């Protein structure tokens, strides 16, 4: 979330799209309701008339997978009807920047300029700005890169800063504003209506209502979840929403923003932590063989020419110091070469790992509370792939479908040689530690009870394993033991591994005297500071009580609310630096005056900043040893090198979001000549088994219910929840039910080339038969929480049906829109 | 009852949340004298926590007596949920304990795995093993696989990568657990590391 849950109470208009927040993030509804009670309008766009829709003022159905068409139409409507926030767009976005003259989009082929058929990817030379000049990096004593000359800082070449050409009148045909406008000319109401299956009247009402937040003193928010991300263009769905919020001047405002309601209690934390192929903790690039063969190339390429990331080497070197401790020195590039480097021969994100297990390339598998035999796309294939593993170690609280994949109903244990270890994990309240919610609040969980019987916290399990492996390598040697033996592993307190010691490492410290840091501004690239996770600097920084979480910001329980905007600045701590609303500089005009004085996050009084939130911009600078206020400028997005929001940008698959159809779609693409995005991942894999709309005419979307959670490996073990939602079902629109002779409660078979499941029918008017490009399309809905492994509630695995194709940036599978057929069993 | 309880928590102030889970017993006893001796929260020690389902981060108050879980409810001081919990949060207690339908006694949730288990090649069921044996056996397999699939150089560049092992998950863990996972898995040389954020 760019904001946080309580901030929802500050909105004028809500758009819930790709989320069923009343059911799936119930507490969010509490804050929406507070605004609703004050007169805010709530719009819900969803393939199903969900419980969220039932609370809304305006509901619109939509065909799953057509969000870019919907938002493209909204962009056109906002521009055509002059609803955009002009001062905001002109000053805080790249609307005025001139784009490379080679930029082009060919509607006939559905391709942008720059496609390279050999590499099957885009080259970005035509997607960039026209540049006036490049200002060389300034390493003089007063320059942004002065610190690079200090002792201990590794050598590298800071980049020069490009100065793009602009036309502040926004009239130049080559300026982004004009190109953007032209791009969406095709997205007129009639076309969008036909693509999405929404009537023109409803579309107009939704566009007009949300577009009203373009008024400078209005705040509109978008709440989304996996309904937007689980598509092979999921990243572009998200960008489309971001672009709308920039056009309407909603990013950075109290009650504004783009709010991802994330799917797991600490998935914000696990994303922050770099439990992902391409990141180190804190969103830095993981080293690769091809791009970053040594520390110098990493620093050269990753250091930004402008904005905050000019400081990136400080973050990375401090991370290496936390990782390797005193073994990391300037002479050995702070241990850079001990980090494993990604190769370019194999993709190793989740879906690809199953292909690699299937061929025997991956032989061992650790699972930390995740259940892919139930939850990944094309689970049947994933289970078959797992059966080729030599060994698996599942750390969990129950026997999940994954831990017991060898006894899946469709496999024969006698033929599977995989050795599976199942280690009992402690529950969240059987251990202590931090969780990060969607609003980026870090909160401490105290240990309330001892773990059951022999269960252990995951950290302790890591510790036991690590110490044993280190011992083996010390005693026996083996494939390069150096990276293992040089790691610093010193998180014991009183002789036992302790999360408080890890919290200190995450927070960061000055190595000399282990002084905890209150800000990442104090990190150095000279090896004198250590920090596992720069964005958490300050959450656990009280040097007077390093062993007492309740005396740390992470344990703060102050109820004060300075400014009355439900920021709750004294309750827990939000990364970064306890900032509650990201990009809050944009909540005020170029002179620093809030667009709406009743929702003031930051305010320039003429000689100082009077802020209710922690400034997300350079608000003060040390001049002659004293902090001095910095007068307002338009650098409202200072994490970007160009320090502005981007309507168009270099990105992997599209410089501006363009509609393509789902991998398995019930219709042709009416907006351009290409069916799927050219960058779709894994569509060519044999395991995918694409079905055609002739074979499988029914569109399906998968979703969650309030009583269960994800793969059900917690909730299907709680009798009260099982009683409330005892078994699986398929939602079938009335018209389809009539056509197929299906009655409410009938057992049905839902199937495609990948799998076949049996579920009971729930015939309902909540799902609609839509008119798509002139033809009727039925959509059905499948909740996805069931599997065979539970004492209380079992069912078939819905994800056996989902296609294992995905987005080129996020590698997230397309669970939300694919094709099946349904029949009475 | 609700108001009294909340009042109590506020009066005890920070002591309640001092991070020492069992620091409350004295105050709780004093409180106990004011209430019905049959009240289920009598003589309990309390600590705060956070729900483990959606990313809302709703606050919890957890009550424990003699080291065993007695109750979990919404934290009424918490600014996000203001004491409320949804159906999942409200049933958190059952992750640990359930009521035996026959005896009506509170018993450990029988679905929980509480001992290390191994399923041997071709076997159709689990065997129990000790933690020591489990760790020893796993470490051996990890080393064998790492040694057999380690890539020290890739296209002439130092890679120090272990190709043969993958790691998945972490979004349910505490951040400190996550760092433990990322550091040990990356430390072994794994690059195939993902979690629920990829779903
Ligand atoms: S109680 Fe419900 S709404 Fe609150 S965090 Fe838990 S799952 Fe989310």
Q: Do A339 and B186 touch (CB under 8 A)?
A: yes
Averaged pLDDT, A602-613: 97
- Of A328, A378, A334, A330, the closest CA to residue A354 belongs to A378
Averaged pLDDT, B24-35: 44
Q: How far is B7 from chain A (nearest CA, A)?
A: 15
What pLDDT is stored for residue B33 in this prediction?
52
DSSP three-state, residue A50: coil
Is any ligand 1 atom within 6 A of the Cβ of residue A26? Answer: yes
Which of A369, A434, A466 lies closest to B175 in CB terms? A434
Averaged pLDDT, A279-291: 98
- Residue B100 Cα to ligand 1 midpoint, Å, equals 26
Averaged pLDDT, A352-375: 98
Is the separation of the CB atoms in A786 and A793 below 8 Å?
A: yes
pLDDT above 50 (res A526) = yes
- Torsion sign (Cα): B136, B141, B146, B148: positive
Averaged pLDDT, A12-26: 97
pTM of the model: 0.95
- Please write the tens of the pLDDT for every residue from A506-525: 999 999 999 999 999 999 99
- Please write the tens of the pLDDT for every residue from A458-511: 999 999 999 999 999 999 999 999 999 999 999 999 999 999 999 999 999 999
Per this entry, what is the length of chain A?
Answer: 825
pLDDT above 50 (res A20) = yes
Q: Nearest chain A Cα to B89, which residue?
A: A707
- Of A128, A80, A75, the closest CA to residue A246 belongs to A75
Average pLDDT score over chain A: 97
Q: Do B150 and A480 touch (CB under 8 A)?
A: yes
Q: How confident is the model at residue A768 (pLDDT cuts 50, 70, 90)?
A: confident
- Of B132, B45, B71, B19, the closest CA to residue A499 belongs to B19
Is any ligand 1 atom within 6 A of the Cβ of residue B7? Answer: no
pLDDT above 80 (res B27) = no
pLDDT above 80 (res B12) = no
pLDDT above 70 (res A89) = yes
In chain B, residues with a C-beta closer than 8 Å to the C-beta of A418 are 121
Query: Is residue B136 exposed (0-12), middle (13-18) or buried (19+ Cβ within 10 Å)?
Result: middle
Residue of B92, B174, B182, B191 to mutate for A, most A C-beta atoms under 10 A: B174
Is the separation of the CB atoms in B170 and A270 below 8 Å?
A: yes
Q: How confident is the model at residue B26 (pLDDT cuts 50, 70, 90)?
A: very low
Is the separation of the CB atoms in A663 and A683 below 8 Å?
A: yes
DSSP lists the bridge partners of residue A116 as A121
Q: How confident is the model at residue B28 (pLDDT cuts 50, 70, 90)?
A: very low
- Of A45, A12, A386, the closest CA to residue A218 belongs to A12
Nearest residue (CA) to ligand 1, atom 4: B58
- Of A536, A502, A505, A504, the closest CA to residue A519 belongs to A536
Q: How many CA atoms lie within 13 A of B18 on its CB side?
A: 11
- Please write the tens of the pLDDT for every residue from B140-164: 999 999 999 999 999 999 999 999 9
DSSP three-state, residue A106: strand
Which of A265, A277, A447 lies closest to B52 in CB terms? A265
Q: How many CA atoms lie within 13 A of A560 on its CB side?
A: 8
What pLDDT is stored for residue B16 in this prediction?
34
């Amino acid at each position: 979330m760019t904001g946080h849950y309580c901030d929802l109470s500050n909105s004028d208009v809500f758009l819930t799209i790709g989320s069923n927040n009343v059911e799936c993030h119930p507490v969010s509804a509490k804050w929406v309701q507070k605004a609703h009670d004050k007169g805010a309008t709530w719009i819900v766009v969803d393939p199903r008339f969900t419980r969220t829709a039932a609370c809304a003022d305006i509901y619109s159905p939509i065909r799953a997978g057509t969000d870019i068409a919907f938002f493209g139409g909204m962009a056109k409507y906002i521009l055509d009807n002059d609803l955009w926030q002009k001062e905001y767009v002109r000053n805080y976005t790249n609307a005025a920047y001139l784009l490379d003259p080679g930029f082009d989009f060919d509607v006939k082929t559905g391709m942008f300029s720059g496609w390279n058929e050999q590499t099957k990817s885009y080259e970005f030379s035509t997607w960039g700005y026209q540049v006036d000049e490049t200002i060389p990096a300034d390493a003089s004593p007063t320059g942004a890169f002065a610190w690079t000359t200090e002792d201990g800082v590794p050598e590298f070449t800071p980049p020069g800063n490009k100065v793009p050409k602009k036309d502040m009148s926004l009239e130049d045909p080559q300026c982004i504003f004009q190109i953007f406008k032209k791009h969406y000319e095709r997205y007129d109401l009639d076309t969008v209506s036909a693509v999405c299956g929404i009537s023109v009247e409803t579309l107009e009402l939704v566009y007009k209502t949300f577009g009203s937040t373009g008024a400078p003193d209005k705040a509109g928010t978008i709440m989304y979840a996996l309904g937007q991300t689980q598509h092979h263009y999921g990243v572009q769905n998200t960008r489309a929403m971001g672009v709308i919020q920039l056009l309407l001047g909603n990013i950075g405002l109290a009650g504004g923003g783009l709010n991802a309601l994330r799917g797991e209690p600490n998935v914000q934390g696990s994303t922050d932590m770099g439990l992902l192929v391409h990141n180190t903790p804190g969103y830095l690039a993981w080293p690769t063989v091809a791009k970053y063969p040594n520390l110098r190339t990493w620093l050269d390429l990753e250091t930004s020419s402008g904005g905050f990331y000019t400081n990136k080497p400080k973050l990375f070197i401090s991370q290496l110091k936390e990782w390797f401790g005193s073994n990391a020195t300037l002479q050995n590039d702070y241990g850079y070469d001990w980090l494993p480097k990604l190769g370019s021969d194999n993709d190793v994100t989740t879906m690809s790992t199953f292909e690699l297990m299937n061929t025997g390339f991956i032989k061992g598998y650790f699972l930390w509370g995740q259940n892919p035999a139930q939850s990944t796309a094309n689970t049947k294939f994933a289970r078959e792939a797992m059966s080729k593993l030599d060994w698996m170690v599942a750390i969990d609280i129950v026997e999940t479908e994954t831990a017991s994949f060898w006894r899946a109903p469709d496999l024969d244990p006698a033929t599977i040689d995989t050795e599976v270890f199942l280690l009992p994990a402690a529950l969240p309240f059987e251990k202590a530690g931090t969780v990060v919610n969607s609003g980026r609040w870090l909160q401490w969980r105290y240990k309330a009870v001892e773990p059951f019987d022999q269960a252990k916290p995951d950290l302790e399990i890591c510790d036991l394993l690590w110490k044993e492996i280190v011992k083996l390598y010390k005693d026996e040697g083996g494939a390069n033991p150096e990276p293992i033996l040089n790691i610093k592993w010193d998180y014991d307190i009183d002789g036992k591994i302790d999360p408080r010691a890890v919290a200190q490492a995450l927070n960061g410290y000055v190595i000399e005297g282990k002084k905890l840091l209150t800000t990442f501004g104090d990190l150095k690239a000279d090896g004198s500071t250590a920090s596992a996770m720069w964005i958490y600097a300050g959450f656990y920084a009280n040097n007077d009580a390093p062993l007492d979480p309740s005396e740390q910001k992470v344990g703060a329980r102050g109820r004060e609310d300075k400014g009355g905007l439900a920021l709750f600045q004294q309750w827990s701590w939000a990364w970064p630096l306890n900032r509650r609303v990201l990009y809050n500089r944009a909540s005020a005009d170029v002179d620093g005056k809030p667009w709406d004085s009743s929702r003031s996050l930051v305010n320039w009084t003429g000689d100082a900043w009077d802020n209710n939130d922690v400034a997300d911009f350079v608000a003060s600078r040390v001049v002659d040893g004293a902090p001095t206020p910095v007068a307002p400028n338009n650098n409202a997005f200072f994490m970007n090198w160009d320090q502005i929001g981007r309507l168009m940008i270099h990105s992997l698959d599209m410089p501006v979001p363009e509609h393509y159809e789902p991998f398995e779609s019930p219709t042709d693409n009416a907006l351009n000549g290409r069916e799927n995005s050219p960058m779709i991942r894994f569509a060519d894999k044999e395991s995918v088994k694409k079905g055609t709309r002739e074979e499988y005419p029914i569109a399906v979307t998968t979703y969650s219910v309030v009583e269960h959670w994800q793969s059900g490996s917690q909730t299907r073990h709680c009798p009260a929840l099982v009683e409330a939602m005892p078994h699986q079902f398929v939602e079938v629109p009335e018209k389809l039910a009539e056509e197929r002779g299906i009655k409410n409660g009938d057992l049905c078979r839902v199937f495609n080339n990948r799998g076949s499941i049996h579920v009971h029918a729930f015939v309902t008017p909540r799902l609609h038969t839509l008119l798509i490009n002139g033809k009727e399309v039925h959509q059905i809905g499948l909740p996805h929480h069931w599997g065979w492994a539970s004492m209380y509630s079992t069912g078939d695995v819905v994800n056996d049906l989902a296609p294992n194709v995905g987005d080129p940036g996020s590698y997230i599978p397309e669970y939300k829109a694919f094709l099946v057929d349904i029949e009475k069993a | 009852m609700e108001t009294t309880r909340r009042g109590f928590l506020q009066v005890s102030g920070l002591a309640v949340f001092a991070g020492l889970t069992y620091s409350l017993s004295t105050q709780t006893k004093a409180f106990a004298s004011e209430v019905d001796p049959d009240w289920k929260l009598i003589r309990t020690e309390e600590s705060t926590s956070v729900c483990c389902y959606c990313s809302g981060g709703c606050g919890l108050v957890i009550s424990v007596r003699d080291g065993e879980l007695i109750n979990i409810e919404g934290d009424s001081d918490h600014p996000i949920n203001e004491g409320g919990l949804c159906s999942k949060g409200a049933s958190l207690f059952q992750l640990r304990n359930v009521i035996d339908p026959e005896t009506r006694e509170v018993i450990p949730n029988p679905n929980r795995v509480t001992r290390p288990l191994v399923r041997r090649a071709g076997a159709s069921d689990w065997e129990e093993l000790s933690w020591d044996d489990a760790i020893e056996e796993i470490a051996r397999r990890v080393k064998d696989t790492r040694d057999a699939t380690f890539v020290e150089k890739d296209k002439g560049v130092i890679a120090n990568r272990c190709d043969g092992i993958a790691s998945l998950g972490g979004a349910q863990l505490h951040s400190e657990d996550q760092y433990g996972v990322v550091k040990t898995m990356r430390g072994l040389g794994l690059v195939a590391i993902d979690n629920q954020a990829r779903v």
